[in-house]
Structure 1
Amino acid sequence: MKLFRIPFIIVITSLVLTGLLFANKTDTSEAVPAFPEPGFALLELFTSEGCSSCPPADELMNRIQQSAGDKPVYVLAYHVDYWDRNGWKDVFSDPAFTERQYQYSRRFADQVYTPQVIVNGTTEFVGSDAEAADIAISKALATSSAGSLSVTASIENDSLKASYQVESRRSHLKLMIAVVQKHATSGVKAGENKGRTLSHSQIVRRLHSFDIDVAPKNQFKLELPRDFNINEWELIGFLQDRATGVIYAAKRITI
């Protein structure tokens, strides 16, 4: 039997190609960083003024946002509309936010409920559960980000003009821009919270989506609510996988 000596360089090349083959089979739902980026925590609360269990969750999210300081912790409160038929219409409710929650429910194979919090598109829990929130935030901050997002913006009349740049190994991404009212109060006159004055924070008033697969660096323009001002409102941008819902980067936008 003849023995053939295989050149060392061919062996190394084969190992490298094999490694690349297995790397390409990595589950895209896992946050594998393309480069070392700090972790972040984006908390999405689904809530309603018509839900008696929601005020404690609203208060918890407010405390989390206030105590975050300079940490990359961002809270978005979406007011859903399916409670509106139970005696009180939430002025902040939007069917688009209800649809967003249903999209998440398909990912988690779970029922739709309020108050619900979803962190970075990967973890969900009851919105008033402070212990679960602490665990999820700590885990998210300790996990390197799989992308980076840079947005510069300016206001022209009632519109926001912005430029963005995205870096990520992921594909099928969309850039989400949340227009957020920081605080508001409501006197509820019917429904489960009848007679209560509710305090809200980080209320998402509009949520815009941009497909960035073909343009990781580009500009966009969007219309702002008439009562928008830079002192009482803010904008938060984040990168989300269109298929899995996983969020790979988030940033508060400086105007």
Structure 2
Amino acid sequence: MLPAQADRATGSEAPAPASTENPVVVELYTSQGCSSCPPADELLSRLAAKDGVIALALHVDYWDYIGWADKFARPAHTKRQKAYAHANGSRTIYTPQMVINGTEQVVGARPMEVVDLLEHHAAQANSVRLQARRVGDMIELKAPSPSPALGELVVQLVRYLPSATVTIKKGENAGKTLDYANIVTSWDVVGKWDGQSVLDVSLPAPGSDPAVVIVQRPGPGPIVGAARVP
């Protein structure tokens, strides 16, 4: 369980400005080996440039067998997508799939449906107002005591690569050169929060890759708060 308070990071570097967003989190489950995915990848790139949206690409590994191994794919991403399917009472997973704020699941190549869901969630305030800022190799994370109390929540730290271009040489997308945005490189559960006390912790985040902190109900369930840190 994360403590309500923790020691501050120290160092000579000036802290980066705190993020106090109320964003909508979009997870795209995609693969370089899936011929249906490039339009969804392009849509995610556009969403990544929008204010009020945290767009994250989670490349899965279950398309690798058809001739092209996605170098960004991770078994943990497939596991997370399966967990969403299980929580939703489904036995199947697919690409491209977008999950909006941990609750809505939609085909990632349907921009009108995605935009409608984004507008719906943007109109609803997050239950947890996170404030996050970088201090050296640490992220200082704060949140006020929720009212009403939310119960146990999962605190996650996500790191991502902002962009990459890949030439696909085999598989369904052979011969294409594709651009990708906000490619998740790690998604770690850093602790549990009781969802009723003040949250005030410091999280290790070495390296230059940008980060996102996501607070979510177990399950995985609804995302109740998120903040990005450059």
Q: Give the shorter-chain TM-score range.
A: 0.7 to 0.9
Correspondence for 2:139 among 129, 141, 162: 162
Per the TM alignment, residue 39 of structure 1 is displaced from its structure 2 partner at its CA by 4.8
Task: Report the AA paired with residue 245 of structure 1.
Answer: G
8 A contact 1:39–1:142 mirrored in 2: no
Per the TM alignment, residue 40 of structure 1 is displaced from its structure 2 partner at its CA by 2.7
8 A contact 1:182–1:203 mirrored in 2: yes
Measure, in 2, the Cα distance between the counterparts of 1:117 and 1:213: 26
Per the TM alignment, residue 173 of structure 1 is displaced from its structure 2 partner at its CA by 0.9
Highest relative contact order (Cα 8 Å, sep 6+), 1 or 2?
2
Measure, in 2, the Cα distance between the counterparts of 1:63 and 1:161: 29
Task: Report the AA paired with residue 161 of structure 1.
Answer: M
Correspondence for 2:173 among 193, 214, 223: 193
Per the TM alignment, residue 82 of structure 1 is displaced from its structure 2 partner at its CA by 0.8
Per the TM alignment, residue 38 of structure 1 is displaced from its structure 2 partner at its CA by 7.5
Partner SS, residue 129 of structure 2: strand
**Unmatched runs of 5 consecutive residues or more in structure 1:** 1-36
Task: Figure out how many residues of one structure are paired with residues of the other and give that number.
Answer: 204
Seen in structure 2, the aligned counterparts of structure 1 residues 244 and 198 have a Cα distance that, compared at 3 Å, is closer
Partner SS, residue 118 of structure 2: helix
- Tell whether 2:63 aligns with 1:83: yes
Task: Report the AA paired with residue 58 of structure 1.
Answer: D
Equivalent residue number for residue 17 of structure 2 = none
Measure, in 2, the Cα distance between the counterparts of 1:40 and 1:221: 23
Correspondence for 1:135 among 116, 122, 131: 116
8 A contact 2:83–2:220 mirrored in 1: no
- Tell whether 2:213 aligns with 1:237: yes
Task: Report the AA paired with residue 139 of structure 1.
Answer: H
1:64-83 correspondence runs (5 A): 64-66=47-49, 68=50, 71-83=51-63
Per the TM alignment, residue 253 of structure 1 is displaced from its structure 2 partner at its CA by 1.3
1:210-241: per-residue Cα shift (whole Å, max 9, x none)? 223268222221444xxxx3xxx421111111
1:138-149 correspondence runs (5 A): 138-149=119-130
Measure, in 2, the Cα distance between the counterparts of 1:253 and 1:146: 19
TM-score normalised to the size of structure 2? Answer: 0.83
Per the TM alignment, residue 163 of structure 1 is displaced from its structure 2 partner at its CA by 2.0
Percent identity between the aligned chains?
31
Measure, in 2, the Cα distance between the counterparts of 1:123 and 1:243: 14
Equivalent residue number for residue 53 of structure 1 = 36
Measure, in 1, the Cα distance between the counterparts of 2:178 and 2:23: 29
Correspondence for 2:191 among 211, 220, 230: 211
8 A contact 1:38–1:145 mirrored in 2: no
8 A contact 1:174–1:242 mirrored in 2: yes
8 A contact 1:50–1:88 mirrored in 2: yes
Equivalent residue number for residue 151 of structure 1 = 132
Partner SS, residue 57 of structure 1: helix
User: Post-superposition, which runs of at least 4 consecutive aligned residues in structure 1 deviate over 6 A?
Assistant: none
